[in-house]
Structure 1
Amino acid sequence: MASMSPVSGSVMSIYSGDFGNVDIKGGIEFSIDYVEKLKEFLIYIYQCRELAVAEVKKQRSDPYVKAYFLPEKAKMGKRKTAVKKKTLNPVYNEILRYKIPKQSLLAQTLNLSVWHHDALGRNSFLGEFNVNLGTWDWNNKLRKWYQLEPRTPAAGIGLKNRGEMKLALKYVPMSSTGPGTKPNLTGEVYISMKDCLQLPMLRGNKINSFVKCRVLPDTSRKSWQRTRTVDKTPNPYFNHTMVYDGFKEEDLREACVELTVWDHNRLSNHFLGGLRIGLGTGKSYGTAVDWMDSTHEEATMWEKMIASPNTWVEGILPLRMFKVATPAK
């Protein structure tokens, strides 16, 4: 697992994350405008600065900027700039255009993301910035710098009810299986995914959902596990158990189980909501972390698991929105 944690990362299944493996840094300079006469939305992309290095061995990035409307990316399509090679400070001076009624814009979020172009198609995410067009000051036409941020799951913006998840947790401590056998010096955490209830329907009556899991502070790709995808229902039944090993009892107070629910479609996966089940202390191994932010209900379930080893602790918890931490290198 991550170097800050002694917990090992053995898992039963592996799922590659959607967020790349580059530390996010730098900024983007842009402005936006709407031309009433042409019914055209304009995005002026000027430049980026101090971007992350995508290819560490070559110490280079070949960045470009991509524009989408959220939460439904496919509806209006994407626009993107040219690729600028071998630079962390690309200058574009390009205009991305959309023919769209202004009233339709007010229900959208503009997503600007920066990517490293890879010749083999394995593009790396370098950061993004989201603009809520419903609250945007349309008199503001000035170019301005904005700090790039890690991937923010933006589907379901404005939804108050994101559904619930039914699950069970169990901690099996370190043990010895008998005379002459090698003792198990660390314990295991079992996470039994039962089902989800009343997931938000972002695409009319279509939803194809799956659940991803990892145990923080490990943000590496190898820590991901996922369920199968259940199609065409807001109440998917998964019945999937995930196991993470390498836990001593003291590690449980520093760790957090992150469960995220996703709607899968052909173009992209949309984040619907999630849980972070831990003590919610704000710290892990003495370091302040934003992912140790469990709600009272989530923290109570984790506390019950710690207090009841070898016993399943069940619960139904409400899903919520949060930023998913970027995978480590």
Structure 2
Amino acid sequence: MGTTDSKLPPGPNAIRQDPNKIELIAKALDVRAERQRQLEIQDGWDRLEQDKQSLQSLKSLFKKLDPTVVKSPTDVNGEIELSFKFDEKRQLLLVKVIKCRDLHAKDVRRKASDPYVRLQLYPDLHSHGAKVTQIVVESRNPVYNEIFAFKIRPKELADTKLVVQVFDYDCVTRDDFLGEVVVELSQFNFQTEPVLTAWYTLCMETDLSITGDLEISLNFLKPQSLFLTVHGAYGLSRRQDGKPVHAMVKCTVPGSGSVHKTQVVVADDGNPDWQETFEFEIPEEELEFRYVLLHVLDNTAHTEHNMLGQIIIDLDTLNTEGGYNGWLKLADLRNSDRLRNKQQQHKVTQEFREAFRAHAFARYPSFLFQQQMGKKSVTVTCRKAGAQGKIQMMDGVPVF
């Protein structure tokens, strides 16, 4: 019977007996693990940046695809309290800027702004120029209590507006716009109310330099055909660079689902002529709560401010037998109640759909975007937004 030798022959296990090699391998493994971690972090950042770019592209795409969207105030929020008094003896309009509240926070880190208020009469018949309050540092609810005087005759009040703008002071770049109020002085009766104080909701900037008139015709053919003819325009606003206006008109009846555009007409004199007719399907019983919205635009390439004015025509008074023909004055109506409400409704709907697609890209929540085979349709409804989102899934991958 032979004996068993307990000593193992030299081989791979001999490394266990060498502490130096163990230490070297441990360091090598640590370096490898750290490198892998850095690669995973970089890969994560790359994916995040790609997702951000994709989502931004989607937002831009949807805004461009929707022909009814009008530029909306993404950074306008809050209210301003103003007080008015007219000194008839000295013929002075006294305006007191009291305070603001719930302004937009331009500085994300401080969650505040450095707001000040700028006031100017339009038209400025007596060359007052702009009057400016003090700057309140780091506040969304600044208090001013500053009084400004404007020389103005009583008969001039009816045709004069006070433009009140709130800005965020920036010592490096251009001051940021926080909102605007255009106060019609004709609404005040200083004889019965010597002092008037009220809160005003800040809105996007209004272009008071818009000029011109638009000639249109409306005819209704029962049971549901509304014909809109855009004839021409007269006295459109001139471009600052002196070049001719490339004018076009975008027409819609909100809620009808139809948007029409005229041809682009080059107008050196600001008087384009179109003579184009468009049809909208509007049942006669809906005329009482429908309206026509017309946008006159400068279609010149690379034009940043291409809006030449808008017109709103209520259809509740339309004579369905005789129709309508006439000239209507163009104005900046982006802050009108109907346009603002329509924009806000569309804005909520748009944000909801964008958020839904963002969840689709992130595959979250997981129970909704779990691994699946075949084609599947997913629909989500938001009662608050009054909107519904629908997406097609093919083998678990969202298809738009």
TM-score by length of 2: 0.42
**Which has the bigger relative contact order, CA under 8 A and spacing at least 6?**
1
Identify, as 1 or 2, the structure richer in helix: 2
TM-score by length of 1: 0.50
